[in-house]
Chains A and B, each alone.
Chain A
Amino acid sequence: MKIKRYILILFTLLLFKADIIKGQTPVDNLMMDAGAFCGAVTYTHDSWSKYWEGKLLRDNRNIGTLTRQTFMPMFALGLTKKINLLVAMPYVSTAPSAGQFIGQSGFQDLGVWLKARLINWETETGTLTLHGVAGASTPVTDYNKDYQPFSLGLGAKELSMRAILHYQLSNGIFVRGSFSGHVRDNIEIERDYYFTTEPVYSNQVDMPNAVMYGVQLGAWLFNNSFNIFGNFEGMNSLSGHDIRRQDMPFPSNKMNMTRAGLNLQYYTPFLKGLSLIASAGQVLSGRNMGKSAMVTGGLSYQFGIWNK
């Protein structure tokens, strides 16, 4: 049978969410003021030609290179000085370069986050901040979830909680760490029998929860107009099963990965509030996921609605 193995990169979106949170609050240890609005669009090109089948890194010439393009409109709003609202809804398009499987495209999940500054502690040498982010996301279209890795996403409703601890010296150099937990609801697929490590007589799939973590080291330069940081991050599923040898991947696979990346943001002097965003990342290790490389470009524009 013509079978393919591959892997899903949904976590791309999750990581992306992390990026949104950084990107829209340009100075990450500072919140947007009450009444401030930030709109942004980003485009991400993510592709892999190797993936981990369980722990085995392999290629699959019946997929070739799987490219996932994500166009993501998003906005952030300063509700108060200490609480910001973020909303995003990516449009995703997938395409394998080989084989006979058809790619997919469409709107994926709607995500909403509330970000709160819990601590802002200024000392003589620098500033320590702690942010908490609570998020929820849900699929907005009835995409084919039982079609990994070509599916637009995992199709699960998700709740997440994230803590971001950030310390910045007065010269602009900063270090940041974040940790988040992601709780996923069961998904419903279009068949009522499937096999993971055991048979399941149901159209419900118990989705693994996950934790994500990240460490960033970077600086704000040139009068706070240019932000650069290196990034190391990871994801671990708390349950789920491996893709078996030469099996199809499945939404409840145990997806783990680590990734390194570089992020840039530049506030143009030409138009106040306009910034250019760019980032690149490479998956270093993984399990049941693609060894993907991604680049992102975008821009954001921030202005006051009230409290100008």
Chain B
Amino acid sequence: MQLLKINRMIKNLFGSLCILLVISSCESDLPGFYEFEPYAYSSTDLAAGDWKPVLIADAGAFQLPDPAPAGSDAYKSELAELKSLSENPDAIQKDAIQYWNNDGLVRWNETICRLISKYNLPPAPNDDDSYGVPNAAAPDQYPYFPFAHPTYACRALAYMSGAHYDALISAWKLKSQFNRARHQTADPSIRLHLPASELPSYPAEGAVIAAVSEVMLSALFPLDKTEIQKLSAEHKNSLMWAGKHVKSDITAGDSLGRIIAAEFLKRAATDGMKNAQSPKAISDSIRQAAEARFGWYWKNLEDPERPVGITPLFGKVKPWFIPNVETVRPGPPPAIGSPEFIQAANELKDIQKNLTKKQRAIANFYADGIGTYSPPGHWNRIAAEKIVEARLSPVRAARIIAYMNYAIMDAGISCWDTKYFYYYPRPSQAIPGFKTILGIPNFPAYTSGHSTFSSAAGKVLSHFFPSAAAEFDAVTIEASLSRLYGGIHYRFDSEVGVTSGHLVAEYSVNRAKLDGAE
């Protein structure tokens, strides 16, 4: 009797425990991307074929085979294929249609941000206290290539979104040239699972974007090539499942995207990035030059010490729009120990001592440190949300993202030039006993990278979304102050960074004003 009772009680107890665990194991399904409904474009920007591309000389230089004419047998069989593929998409296909939506531009932007987050990890020390350096020629050997730190990230974003933009200008030119009607015109019984648009359908803009992204990302993140190809294939397939494009639209878009992406890879191969992570001897000579000039120098305080900061020669990488780094280089920071320096150092000590919940939250919100999409990625996310809100066509959206990322990369080049020219110590080095809640980046303090990136991005976005300018300014200021709250920058690092980011961004905005889109 007693045994039975024990048995029952154990069963009850464990039964309720199991129920508790089962109930709780229902995944809470947190969003892995920016969720929005596919939208109809506020304008198809049909004249975009005449806009001026940034890198390629002539948007009309790329030719595609003529599509099969309306009424031809070849076209009829393409329509039949489209009809069967779009008749009854299954659940996975429906998800893909919804996810990639009309053009997939925002999705590829998120994909590069995901890859940046995945690869934004510094090398771990070896047993003998040395550090390996990622090697593009052997990406799968630890430390894996790339280490997607902020300068790698800003450059990757600029090349991918720049290629998107130029390729879409070409695509629009060809769309006007061939003027192939949307396929529902020829066969109204073909189901369209996306909002309709009056854009000519050849070449498929989604396929252009997928191909550009696939080529650029495969080069930038070679270890993920297979997965990137899979995504690109799914994106292109979704255009047929959606009833939007026949195969020849997609093939044409794909080949156009590949040709133009190759032009961008050519520039990337010779822009100086491969020398940016300089060897120790060069890094030491840069430090010695700063020490001779100013009497101070920044030092990596990790144990074991990292022998070289992140990309000391990124300031020598070829910029997009600024004439050279000297033109935009700010003046020197206050001398260590000067009254201005002491005031800034005291401010940091005060902040740390009395850090409010709000200040801590701002420091964490804009931390954008290792394992994240970095400050440039943060701004791409902000831009994507504005683009969706304004229901922009992909060519107009790509224009905004491209000019923003060009400005961010130029800001990064200028900021890194400034950092390694002045070689200014971080607060944790210059203020005895100073500790932080944020990880200390492995490069000199002056000027703040986040502040420079942010003000450049905010300035470009303010040009394209003037009604939100105050919002972008507020984000810029908050992002720049977040570095003080986190204890990794002095106020002058942030303030001067904001000023020079604005200056750099003007070159990007001035270029945008001349490209015929406004």
Asked if residues A201 and B34 are in contact (CB atoms below 8 Å), the reply is yes
Whether, in the assembled complex, B117 has its beta carbon less than 8 Å from a beta carbon of chain A, the answer is yes
Q: How far is the CB of B314 from chain A (nearest CB, A)?
A: 15
Asked if residues A248 and B370 are in contact (CB atoms below 8 Å), the reply is yes
A-contact 0/1 string along B357-384, CB 8 Å cutoff = 1001100111101111100001001000
Asked if residues B436 and A1 are in contact (CB atoms below 8 Å), the reply is no
Asked if residues A201 and B439 are in contact (CB atoms below 8 Å), the reply is no
Task: Of the listed stretches A82-90, A182-190, A292-300, name the one at the interface; the rest are far from the partner chain.
Answer: A182-190
Residues of chain B within 8 A of A206, CB atoms compared: 27-28, 30
Asked if residues B440 and A1 are in contact (CB atoms below 8 Å), the reply is yes
Asked if residues A246 and B123 are in contact (CB atoms below 8 Å), the reply is yes
A115 to B14, CA, bound (A): 15
Of residues 275 through 319 on chain B, the ones whose CB sits less than 8 Å from some CB of chain A are 300-304, 310
Residues of chain B within 8 A of A209, CB atoms compared: 21, 24-25
Residues of chain A within 8 A of B331, CB atoms compared: none
Whether, in the assembled complex, B122 has its beta carbon less than 8 Å from a beta carbon of chain A, the answer is yes
A28 to B81, CA, bound (A): 74
The chain B residue with its CB closest to the CB of A56 is B124
Task: Of the listed stretches B1-9, B57-65, B386-394, B501-509, name the one at the interface; the rest are far from the partner chain.
Answer: B1-9
Q: Would A202 and B310 be within 8 Å (CB), given that A99-B303, A144-B364 are in contact? A: no
Whether, in the assembled complex, A30 has its beta carbon less than 8 Å from a beta carbon of chain B, the answer is no
Contact among A147, A205, A247 with B370 in the assembled complex (CB-CB below 8 Å):
A247
Contact among B17, B34, B436 with A101 in the assembled complex (CB-CB below 8 Å):
B436
Asked if residues B117 and A62 are in contact (CB atoms below 8 Å), the reply is no
Asked if residues A161 and B370 are in contact (CB atoms below 8 Å), the reply is no
Q: How far is the CB of B227 from chain A (nearest CB, A)?
A: 12
A-contact 0/1 string along B249-272, CB 8 Å cutoff = 000000000000000000000000
Residues of chain A within 8 A of B373, CB atoms compared: 193, 195, 199
Whether, in the assembled complex, B118 has its beta carbon less than 8 Å from a beta carbon of chain A, the answer is yes
The chain B residue with its CB closest to the CB of A189 is B364
Of residues 1 through 38 on chain B, the ones whose CB sits less than 8 Å from some CB of chain A are 2, 5-6, 9-10, 13-14, 16-18, 20-21, 23-25, 27-28, 30-34
The chain B residue with its CB closest to the CB of A205 is B30
Q: How far is the CB of B139 from chain A (nearest CB, A)?
A: 15
B-contact 0/1 string along A121-153, CB 8 Å cutoff = 100000010101000000000101011000000
Whether, in the assembled complex, A245 has its beta carbon less than 8 Å from a beta carbon of chain B, the answer is yes
Whether, in the assembled complex, A283 has its beta carbon less than 8 Å from a beta carbon of chain B, the answer is no
Asked if residues A163 and B304 are in contact (CB atoms below 8 Å), the reply is no
Whether, in the assembled complex, B80 has its beta carbon less than 8 Å from a beta carbon of chain A, the answer is no
Asked if residues A201 and B122 are in contact (CB atoms below 8 Å), the reply is no
Whether, in the assembled complex, A118 has its beta carbon less than 8 Å from a beta carbon of chain B, the answer is yes
Whether, in the assembled complex, A159 has its beta carbon less than 8 Å from a beta carbon of chain B, the answer is yes
The chain B residue with its CB closest to the CB of A196 is B371
B interface bracket (residues with beta carbon within 8 Å of A):
35 or more
Asked if residues A1 and B13 are in contact (CB atoms below 8 Å), the reply is no
Whether, in the assembled complex, A284 has its beta carbon less than 8 Å from a beta carbon of chain B, the answer is no
Asked if residues B364 and A100 are in contact (CB atoms below 8 Å), the reply is no
Q: Max chain B CB contacts within 10 Å: which of A159, A195, A202?
A: A195
Residues of chain B within 8 A of A245, CB atoms compared: 121, 124, 142
Residues of chain B within 8 A of A62, CB atoms compared: 302-303
Whether, in the assembled complex, B435 has its beta carbon less than 8 Å from a beta carbon of chain A, the answer is yes
Contact among B18, B122, B301, B364 with A190 in the assembled complex (CB-CB below 8 Å):
B364
Asked if residues B360 and A190 are in contact (CB atoms below 8 Å), the reply is yes
Residues of chain B within 8 A of A201, CB atoms compared: 30-34, 381
Residues of chain A within 8 A of B441, CB atoms compared: 1-2
Q: Would A246 and B122 be within 8 Å (CB), given that A62-B302, A119-B6, A130-B10 are in contact? A: yes
Q: Would A130 and B9 be within 8 Å (CB), given that A1-B440, A161-B16, A186-B28 are in contact? A: yes
A159 to B17, CA, bound (A): 10
A2 to B149, CA, bound (A): 12
Residues of chain A within 8 A of B149, CB atoms compared: 1
Residues of chain B within 8 A of A287, CB atoms compared: none
A interface bracket (residues with beta carbon within 8 Å of B):
35 or more
Q: Would A161 and B440 be within 8 Å (CB), given that A2-B301, A199-B114 are in contact? A: no
A100 to B433, CA, bound (A): 8
Asked if residues B304 and A61 are in contact (CB atoms below 8 Å), the reply is yes
Asked if residues A191 and B142 are in contact (CB atoms below 8 Å), the reply is no
Residues of chain B within 8 A of A244, CB atoms compared: 121, 371
Residues of chain B within 8 A of A163, CB atoms compared: 10, 13-14, 17
Whether, in the assembled complex, B103 has its beta carbon less than 8 Å from a beta carbon of chain A, the answer is no
B-contact 0/1 string along A171-211, CB 8 Å cutoff = 00000000011011010011111110011111011100101
Whether, in the assembled complex, A259 has its beta carbon less than 8 Å from a beta carbon of chain B, the answer is no
A-contact 0/1 string along B107-140, CB 8 Å cutoff = 0001001100110011110000000000000000
Whether, in the assembled complex, B476 has its beta carbon less than 8 Å from a beta carbon of chain A, the answer is no
Q: Would A159 and B369 be within 8 Å (CB), given that A193-B381, A248-B439 are in contact? A: no
Asked if residues B31 and A202 are in contact (CB atoms below 8 Å), the reply is yes
Residues of chain B within 8 A of A1, CB atoms compared: 122, 149, 310, 369-370, 439-442
A-contact 0/1 string along B142-168, CB 8 Å cutoff = 100000010000000000000000000
Residues of chain A within 8 A of B142, CB atoms compared: 245
Of residues 417 through 448 on chain B, the ones whose CB sits less than 8 Å from some CB of chain A are 428, 434-437, 439-442
A99 to B435, CA, bound (A): 8
A-contact 0/1 string along B431-468, CB 8 Å cutoff = 00011110111100000000000000000000000000
Residues of chain A within 8 A of B487, CB atoms compared: 102
Whether, in the assembled complex, A4 has its beta carbon less than 8 Å from a beta carbon of chain B, the answer is yes
A1 to B367, CA, bound (A): 12
Asked if residues B10 and A161 are in contact (CB atoms below 8 Å), the reply is no
The chain B residue with its CB closest to the CB of A128 is B6
Asked if residues A204 and B30 are in contact (CB atoms below 8 Å), the reply is yes
Asked if residues A100 and B436 are in contact (CB atoms below 8 Å), the reply is yes
B-contact 0/1 string along A280-293, CB 8 Å cutoff = 00000000000000
Whether, in the assembled complex, A305 has its beta carbon less than 8 Å from a beta carbon of chain B, the answer is no
Q: Max chain B CB contacts within 10 Å: which of A61, A146, A201?
A: A201
Q: How far is the CB of A27 from chain B (nearest CB, A)?
A: 20
Residues of chain B within 8 A of A2, CB atoms compared: 300-302, 439-442
Q: How far is the CB of B503 from chain A (nearest CB, A)?
A: 26
Going nearest first, the 3 A-B pairs with the smallest beta carbon separation are A190-B364, A2-B440, A195-B117
17 A-B pairs (CB sep. < 8 Å): A1-B310, A1-B370, A2-B439, A3-B439, A100-B301, A101-B435, A119-B5, A119-B6, A142-B357, A161-B20, A190-B364, A192-B365, A193-B373, A198-B32, A206-B30, A245-B142, A248-B370
Extra contacts besides A119-B9, A183-B21 (4): CB < 8 Å: A1-B441, A201-B31, A204-B28, A246-B121
